[in-house]
Structure 1
């Protein structure tokens, strides 16, 4: 009887191991399939950008390499201005969001005031509204303020983020209230408490949100396209789309070179700091 039970357990264990092995193989195969789906367009863009236009549609292991496509793309449009506009834009938006949303998140997490729950419900409601729905009203507001075709007009509607307020509120609520009492004993006022206690402990959350914000506004297209009309205010995404429709951008090799110029900083930044990115998201609880 003992031998039979032992054999049964061994058979069951072997079946479980085989089942786990098959499941793992399926997951790995699925991950590779998704990676290839994502990588193939990128590899094609890199291939056409670093080879002459004659190799746009054919593969040759010994095809000559060239950087002329990047030079032509850079000279065909004011990409230096587009880069400057984009850097100013994402920096301005992120700075405003961190200041305003940190103050709002702290107020919702630690302060008591009339209408607190109603106001926070409105913040959550904002998360359910697609930004594109508000394009007409935002444009009317920017025109009234005289800000059309300015970098400020691109960023102003995004200075407050419901997602950031919610995220920081949840982070602040997880911190023990004993920290408040200890800081007040040391003579901290509310701003001192926020600056010296809460913000240092919320840095992973703020970093994770900062990555999301920079990536989103670096790639944002519809609103900047509508609100800008000159090269002096266009960000990279709008400049790239206009460049691709001009006579100088008809060759795929040059278009892909311009695309890599536009998306390169984000890709390089992720590859260099991917470990810090993942750790920030894990600590912040963003999924």
Structure 2
């Protein structure tokens, strides 16, 4: 079998992704003294996971993270659907200007707005709450753009037929456009959940207590120990944090790839 340039590049990228994960798995299921050396006869243990779970309130962190990603995705889908439908099918003054402003927002890095977002949330006393983490992300320019492009591919005849049957604009949206855009919703949902599950900087800045911290911020407790860094426990904690995303991808990888292909995401 002759490897092409594309297949060689794919293999290299796969190795870059797999090797750190393989090391994390190795370190997590072996005693600490084997984190820096590979021995086939090294004993297996789950003690690192037990120690990691006891060192931090992971149950609370998982609950906070689940609430956070669910809240953000729900708002993004509702607001994005309404905005995308208006931009794709409704005629109103300033539509093109509004869409241009949304596209301009895609060019602004979220980190550039951190200071002003923090000051705004501090004024309304929302610091150290889960809504404080979610508010800057409840409207997504990327989601609006993606759904608008999908809605524009829906045949106008379906829209007209539904209106002839007496459907209101909202009914047309919910019964014609939303079902046909299901692959796009799946693709965007996967992107949104993955991004906000792994987001670290903004949650770190606006949370101070266990009651509002997500998993990514909770992991920092393992790197601030006075007794030094225990890589075995860190790897175990990291695997517990990333396990839901990894398991979800392995279970739904076919739907994941198909939805991205149908949605036209490169």
What TM-score, normalized to structure 2?
Answer: 0.97
**Map of 2:182 onto structure 1:** 203
Q: How far did residue 249 of structure 1 move?
A: 7.0
Is the 2:56–2:221 contact (alpha carbons within 8 Å) kept by the matching residues of 1? Answer: no
Does residue 81 of the first structure (1) align with residue 64 of the second (2)?
no
> Pick from 156, 165, 170: which aligns with 1:177?
156
Residues 248 and 267 of structure 1, relative CA distance in 2, 3 Å threshold: farther
Secondary structure, in 3 states, of the residue corresponding to 1:57? Answer: coil
Quick one: distance in 1 between partners of 2:168 and 2:66?
Answer: 35
The superposition leaves residues 55-96 of structure 1 with CA deviations (integer Å, 9 ceiling, x where unpaired) of: 111111111100000000001001111100000000000000
Gapped regions of structure 2 (runs ≥ 5) = none
* Aligned residue in 2 for 1:99: 78
Q: Which structure has the highest helix share of the two?
A: 1
TM, length-normalised to structure 1: 0.90
**Cross-structure match for 2:207:** 228
1:191 paired to 2:170:
yes
For the aligned residue pairs, the C-alpha RMSD in angstroms reads 1.2
Q: 1:28 deviation in Å?
A: 2.6
CA deviation profile, 1:221-266 (whole Å, cap 9, x unmatched): 1100001111110001011123322247721100110010111111
Instruction: Give CA deviations for 1:158-184 in whole Å, capped at 9, x if unaligned.
Output: 000000111111111111111111101
Residue number in structure 1 paired with 2:91: 112
Per-residue CA deviation, residues 249-286 of structure 1 (Å, 9 max, x unaligned), is 72110011001011111111111111110000001000
Shift of 1:54: 1.4
How many Å separate the matches in 1 of 2:177 and 2:151?
7
Larger displacement relative to structure 2 (162-171 or 26-35): 26-35
Which residue matches 2:132? 153
Work out the number of aligned pairs and report it: 266
| Residue segments in structure 1 that go unaligned for 5+ positions in a row | 1-20
Contact preservation (8 Å) 2:222, 2:229: no
Shift of the 249–220 alpha-carbon distance from structure 1 to 2, 3 Å rule, reads farther
Of structures 1 and 2, the larger Rg is shown by: 1
Pairing 1:243–2:222 present:
yes
From the superposition, tell whether residues 230 and 248 of structure 1 become closer, same or farther in structure 2 (CA, over 3 Å). farther
Bigger shift: residues 26-35 or 72-81: 26-35
Tell me, yes or no, if structure 1 residue 60 matches structure 2 residue 30.
Answer: no
Moved more, 244-253 or 113-122: 244-253
Q: Distance in 1 between matches of 2:190 and 2:111?
A: 22
Structure-2 change in CA distance of 1:248 and 1:231 (3 Å):
farther
Q: Give the Å deviation of 1:31.
A: 2.0
SS in 1 for 2:252: helix
Which of 126, 131, 146 lines up with 1:167 in the alignment?
Answer: 146
